[in-house]
Amino acid sequence: MASTDADTPPLFFTKVLGSLRPANPAAHDALKAITGTVKVKITKATANQRRRGMYWLTLAVAAEVLADKTGDPWDAELLHKELKIVLKLGETFTTPSGREVFKPASTADAKMSEPERARWTDRTMAVLSTWCGVPVADLLTEARVRDAQ
């Protein structure tokens, strides 16, 4: 499953008995979608990528909490886009008629250093906690439980 969108969850796999096994929910989902042969690029996971993976897991947890509380179909991608808007990660342009258009910035590893990602993650966790009415620690604990599965 190839993706050119840098703002998607990273796919983590672990070597087990000479084979690659999905190591996070995004990798499990990607594996289910594969038909035929795929091209894989192997890179070592950095701390920045691991933080990015935990971010996406926490978004998925928060989306479930919000869906349960509101009855609306929240998902991680929608929360990611909305967090960029709310936390102003990007630029706003104004058309001659006065309409504002938001151009979000990328959160890809190449665009965000590790300290920047740490700050971004801290800011997003605070917002998600407020929106969900759940302490940040609880969101992160549930994400860690899912990461271990």
pLDDT at position 44 is 64
Q: What is the pLDDT of residues 1-20, one digit of tens each?
A: 334 445 677 777 777 777 77
pTM of the model: 0.70
pLDDT at position 94 is 97
Q: What is the pLDDT of residues 12-54, one digit of tens each?
A: 777 777 777 777 777 777 788 888 787 777 666 666 677 888 8
pLDDT over 70 percentage in the chain: 88
Q: Which residues contact 25 (CB under 8 A, 6 or more apart)?
A: 9, 57, 60, 146
pLDDT at position 45 is 63
CA distance 100 to 123: 24
Residue 94: its H or E element: strand 90-94
Q: Which of 3-12, 65-74, 94-103 has the lowest mean pLDDT?
A: 3-12
